[in-house]
């Protein structure tokens, strides 16, 4: 049986690797859009509470569980669950910790290829847009959103060549191992990412109001749109179903809105939504909690694997806190100050309302950079920064699969890389082929990138606080720590965090699966993600995507059942005598 000798080169290396895993596209695209959508200050309060209640506790639990499993010779989620729980079912529950990162990689690498493709096309002067319709059509052509198989074109302005390049590069890095591949890439990529982000941020902060004819469209009002705790909106007194509120930001804009309302003969009114009323919106808490998972990589099955390669006396408390802090700096201080202010300065509040994630990043921001002086350089820098954020995350998604295959089959890195590359090539091929409306990507992101992450995080914190035991868990967590985890986190980890997670998970199921309107407390239609799989409206791309997930689970379950290493783990024995 091949013995895995992989290890981190330094404690800084593992911190940079975990920070690299956490800092991804969500920091610069998803977070700013959610913060703006849910009222800035109100969202940040819910986000901070979610960070303290679920982000830090689950992160620390994963660090402690991973390091303990590593001390017993196990480096995969099934191995960690089996040696901690010491039950046959535990190793199968641990498979979720392999399924999540491996399946997410299959579509995340697609988005990664968009980033490097956009960066190069900006730097070569190919990205010149006049209006939003240009950016939307360019994106649709680049990713093949018009029809299935339309992405299978080899051109600089399509995703395929960039996908092939980044796919190979990811596996080159993972083949080189922890210290030679992942650690080295993160030690280079993370500082370079921050430098590029600071360069782009400096440019954004000096934009002012680019169009003198639209003084309200400015960086200052962009910051206000995102961070103001209260929202001011112009609404119709008797709105029709299609009428949407119009948000106004800034003292001058609000003064003009007041004059508009006064001249409307009562057809319009100005309303102020306080942060406290916004906090009563369950959707805000769902968005904040969901962003914590995306942001910190908790519930991904990555931290537990990375921590398993640490030494028994390495400080997991400080390491976890440092990695989380680096991520929050990139998300709040960089991501929160770049995208929305720049977009508002050029397009106005109305031009970006409701945009987040892919829409904000690839349909709105390219137009912003096209209008910006020296936009080709800054646009290329921004998308290359996104590429660095993406690749430090994507290589982290491969390591749990590599560790699992090596452990379950008793093979070396060359064999594990070969097996995983074949599996992910097939999965990515499905995502690449079914690009119409990005249906395959969207389906996998919903069921694996959201549903299974919630499920895995809930299982992990219950295992840590109740199965392993809060006393034993805290003893392992504080072993070798420069300072212990504050005692207040004991009830948080054992009671508050699981309760909060189960509540959020239940609300999420009600809203996103069964269509229950949490604002009006009225039932709605079943989610399209469900009808895509069953019934008359079933979608072939969605069904094949979920068949892929089930097939991978069965494949991993068969490997797990035959593993001699996991048979030892479930009996509480170390991997090797």
Distance CA 29, CA 27 (A): 6
Beta-carbon contacts of 262 under 8 Å, excluding residues fewer than 6 positions away, are none
* pLDDT band at residue 371 using 50, 70 and 90 as cut-offs: confident
Largest CA distance in the chain: 85
- Does pLDDT of 2 surpass 70? no
How far, in Å, CA of 548 to CA of 437, rounded? 19
* Separation between Cα atoms, residue 525 and residue 273, nearest integer Å: 28
> 3-state class of 514 per DSSP?
coil
pLDDT tens per residue, range 35-90: 877 767 788 889 999 999 999 999 999 999 999 999 999 999 999 999 999 998 99
> Which two three-digit tokens encode residue 113?
């290829």
Q: Please tell me whether residue 261 adopts helix, strand or coil conformation.
A: helix
Is the confidence at residue 477, as pLDDT, over 50? Answer: yes
Nearest alpha carbon to residue 385 among 365, 370, 405, 399? 365
In 215-250, which ranges are continuous DSSP H helix? Answer: 219-227
Q: Identify which of 334, 312, 345 has the alpha carbon closest to the alpha carbon of residue 200.
A: 334
The mean pLDDT value for 273-290 works out to 84
Phi, psi of 231 (to 5 degrees): -110, 135
**What was the pLDDT predicted at 3?**
52
CB-based burial of residue 124 (10 Å sphere; 0-12 exposed, 13-18 middle, 19+ buried)?
Answer: exposed
pLDDT at residue 131 tops 50: yes
pLDDT of residue 280: 82
Q: Which residues contact 132 (CB under 8 A, 6 or more apart)?
A: 347, 351, 363, 364, 367
Nearest Cα to Cα of residue 371 among 211, 224, 136? 211
Report the C-alpha gap between 332 and 325 in whole angstroms.
10
- Both structure tokens of 233: 């909106």
Q: What percent of the chain has pLDDT over 70?
A: 97
Q: Please state the rounded mean pLDDT for residues 105-122.
A: 96
CA–CA gap between residue 374 and residue 395 (Å, rounded): 32
**3-state DSSP assignment of residue 327:** helix
Angle between the N-to-C axes of helices 41-50 and 282-296, in degrees from 0 to 180, rounded to the nearest 10:
60
Under the banding of pLDDT at 50, 70 and 90, the label for residue 507 is: confident
CA 74 to chain centre: 26
> Whole-angstrom Cα distance, residue 113 to residue 123?
16
Residue-level pLDDT at 349: 78
Give, as one character, the DSSP assignment of residue 128: -
* C-beta neighbour count of 518 within 10 angstroms: 16
What is 380-426 written as a DSSP string? HHHHHHHHHHHHHHHHHHHHHHHHHHHHHHT--HHHHHHHHHHHHHH
What would the pLDDT profile of 316-365 be if each residue is shown by its tens digit?
A: 999 999 988 888 898 888 888 888 888 888 888 777 766 666 777 888 88
What is the average pLDDT score of the chain? 90
Instruction: Give pLDDT, residue 519.
Output: 66
Residue 303, Cβ neighbours under 10 Å: how many?
33
Lay out the sheet containing 246-248: strands in order across: 246-248, 231-236, 268-273
Highest-scoring range by mean pLDDT, 123-137, 154-168, 268-282, 520-534? 154-168
Q: CA–CA distance from 416 to each of 57, 189, 211, 279, 398 (Å)?
A: 32, 25, 55, 47, 11
Residue 495: both structure tokens together: 């009671």
Nearest Cα neighbor of 454 from 284, 327, 283, 292 is: 292
pLDDT score, position 1: 45
Which pLDDT value is given to residue 57?
94
pLDDT at 240: 83
Distance, in Å, from the CA atom of 122 to the CA atom of 504, rounded to the nearest integer, reads: 41
What lies within 8 Å, CB to CB, of 58 at 6+ separation is: 298, 299, 457, 460, 461, 497
Q: Tell me what the mean pLDDT of segment 203-228 comes to.
A: 86
Contacts of 316 (CB under 8 A, 6+ apart): 60, 63, 64, 67, 307, 310, 477, 480, 481
% the chain with pLDDT above 90: 57
Alpha-carbon span 81 to 87, nearest angstrom = 9
- Burial category of 543 from C-beta neighbours within 10 Å (exposed 0-12, middle 13-18, buried 19 and up): middle
Q: What is each CA distance from 544 to 420, 441, 475, 483, 498, in whole angstroms? A: 20, 11, 45, 49, 33
pLDDT band at 5 (very low <50, low <70, confident <90, very high): low
546: Cα within 13 Å, side-chain hemisphere: 18
Q: What is the pLDDT of residues 424-468, one digit of tens each?
A: 999 999 999 999 999 999 999 999 998 999 899 999 999 999 999
Distance CA 202, CA 223 (A): 14
Q: Identify the H or E element spanning 56.
A: helix 56-71
Beta-bridge partners for 236: 268
Phi and psi torsions of 90, nearest 5°: -60, -40
- Whether the per-residue pLDDT at 4 is higher than 60: the answer is no
The answer to whether residues 180 and 413 touch, using CB atoms and an 8 Å cutoff, is: no
Q: How far apart are CA 324 and CA 292, in angstroms?
A: 10
**Better-predicted residue by pLDDT, 253 or 357:** 253
Closest among 302, 257, 471 to 400, alpha carbons compared: 302
**Alpha carbons 167 and 163: distance in angstroms, whole number:** 6
């Amino acid at each position: 049986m091949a013995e895995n000798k992989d290890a981190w080169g330094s404690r800084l290396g593992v911190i940079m690797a975990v920070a690299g895993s956490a800092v991804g596209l969500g920091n610069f695209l998803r977070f700013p859009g959610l913060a703006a959508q849910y009222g800035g200050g109100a969202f940040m309060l819910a986000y901070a509470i979610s960070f303290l209640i679920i982000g830090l506790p689950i992160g620390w639990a994963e660090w402690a569980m991973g390091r303990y499993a590593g001390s017993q010779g196990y480096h995969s989620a099934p191995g960690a669950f089996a040696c901690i729980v010491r039950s046959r079912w535990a190793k199968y529950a641990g498979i979720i910790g392999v399924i999540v990162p491996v399946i997410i990689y299959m579509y995340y690498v697609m988005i990664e290829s968009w980033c490097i493709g956009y960066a190069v096309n900006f730097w070569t002067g190919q990205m010149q847009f006049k209006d939003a319709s240009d950016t939307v059509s360019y994106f649709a052509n680049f990713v093949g959103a018009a029809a299935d198989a339309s992405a299978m074109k080899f051109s600089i302005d399509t995703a395929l060549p960039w996908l092939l390049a980044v796919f190979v590069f990811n596996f080159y890095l993972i083949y080189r191992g922890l210290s030679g591949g992942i650690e080295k890439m993160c030690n280079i990529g993370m500082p370079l990412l921050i430098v590029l982000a600071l360069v782009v941020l400096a440019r954004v902060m000096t934009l002012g109001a680019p169009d003198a004819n639209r003084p309200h469209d400015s960086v200052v009002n962009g910051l206000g749109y995102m961070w103001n705790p209260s929202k001011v909106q112009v609404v119709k007194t008797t709105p029709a179903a299609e009428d949407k509120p119009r948000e106004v930001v800034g003292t001058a804009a609000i003064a003009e809105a007041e004059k508009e309302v006064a001249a409307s003969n009562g057809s319009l009114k100005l309303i102020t939504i306080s942060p406290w009323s916004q906090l009563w919106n369950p959707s805000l808490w769902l968005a904040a909690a969901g962003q914590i998972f995306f942001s910190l990589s908790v519930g991904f099955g990555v931290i537990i694997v990375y921590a398993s390669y640490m030494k028994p006396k390495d400080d997991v408390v400080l390491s976890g806190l440092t990695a989380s802090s680096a991520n929050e700096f990139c998300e709040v201080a960089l991501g929160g100050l770049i995208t929305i202010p720049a977009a508002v300065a050029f397009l106005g509040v109305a031009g970006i309302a409701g945009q987040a994630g892919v829409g904000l990043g690839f349909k709105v921001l390219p137009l912003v950079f096209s209008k910006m002086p020296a936009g080709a350089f800054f646009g290329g820098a921004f998308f290359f920064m996104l590429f660095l954020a993406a690749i430090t995350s994507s290589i982290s998604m491969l390591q749990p699969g590599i560790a699992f295959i090596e452990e379950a089959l008793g093979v070396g890195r060359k064999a594990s890389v070969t097996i995983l590359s074949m599996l992910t090539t097939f999965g990515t091929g499905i995502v690449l082929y079914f690009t119409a409306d990005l249906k395959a990507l969207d389906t996998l992101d919903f069921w694996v990138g959201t549903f299974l992450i919630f499920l895995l995080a809930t299982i992990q914190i219950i295992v840590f606080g109740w199965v392993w035991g809060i006393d034993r868990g805290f003893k392992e967590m504080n072993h070798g720590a420069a300072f212990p985890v504050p005692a207040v986190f004991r009830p948080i980890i054992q009671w508050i965090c699981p309760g909060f997670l189960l509540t959020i998970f239940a609300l999420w199921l009600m809203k996103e699966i069964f269509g229950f309107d949490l604002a009006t407390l009225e039932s709605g239609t079943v989610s399209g993600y469900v009808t895509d799989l069953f019934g008359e409206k079933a979608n072939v791309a969605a069904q094949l995507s979920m068949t892929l997930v089930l097939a991978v689970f069965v494949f991993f379950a068969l490997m797990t059942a035959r593993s001699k290493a996991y048979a030892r783990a479930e009996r509480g024995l170390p991997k090797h005598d």
